[in-house]
Amino acid sequence: MVLSRVALTLFSLLILLSSSLQAINFQAGAFYGSRQVADRQIKEVYGNGLVYFPFAEIIYKGFILGGGFEGGYSKDGTIGLFKEPTSLKMSGYEVYIGYQFKSKVAPYLKVGYGSYAYKQTIQSAYLAEFKVDHKKGAPLVAFGLKIYPVRNIFLAGEVKYVPLQVNPLEEKVDLSGLRFLAGLGVAF
């Protein structure tokens, strides 16, 4: 019964969308680039890193609805007086809305929300192993440019900012940072 209602609802939505289907543009692609870290102490231990961001978007009359996954930031370092080995990994799922101008060189703006996971481990010979494994949500804002050298293929560049303040223990840590990304995608 529930399955038939879901199927009927999806079928109805497809019928409603079919009249404007030619105006809907589906895009998928991937970005790759650098991720900056704002916190001075985190930057000293782990440094900035590289991230990837596969994404999918629906564009209707310039309006964007999309989502993707940011991964790849995984850094090792040493920390503390005894230079103990440590690692930090960050990743996140993002959803966003935005607007893209329609042309062969198409600037765009996006705002959204991300759910980010951050994992830190410190291997200590003197104390028990220290682990942080948390998730936190944060808004995001991005602007970029897509260039369509061929009808259904685009090259893109994007700058994204995520203000991510976390409290893994009692001290606030600023994992905010800019992403400078370059990518490639296809429009269906």
Parse the chain into domains and list their residue ranges: 31-187
Region of residue 183 (left: phi > 0; alpha: psi -120 to 50; beta: else): beta
Cα 118 to Cα 177: distance, rounded to the nearest angstrom: 14
pLDDT tens digits, residue range 20-74? 556 789 999 999 999 999 999 889 999 999 999 999 999 999 999 999 999 999 9
Q: CATH code for 31-187?
A: 2.40.160.20
What pTM value is reported for the model? 0.83
Q: Decide the pairing of beta strands 49-60 and 63-79.
A: antiparallel
Whether the Cβ atoms of residue 37 and residue 178 lie closer than 8 Å to each other: no
- pLDDT tens digits for 113-169? 999 999 988 887 776 667 788 899 999 999 999 999 998 999 999 999 999 988 876
Handedness of CA 162, 165, 166, 172 (dihedral sign): positive
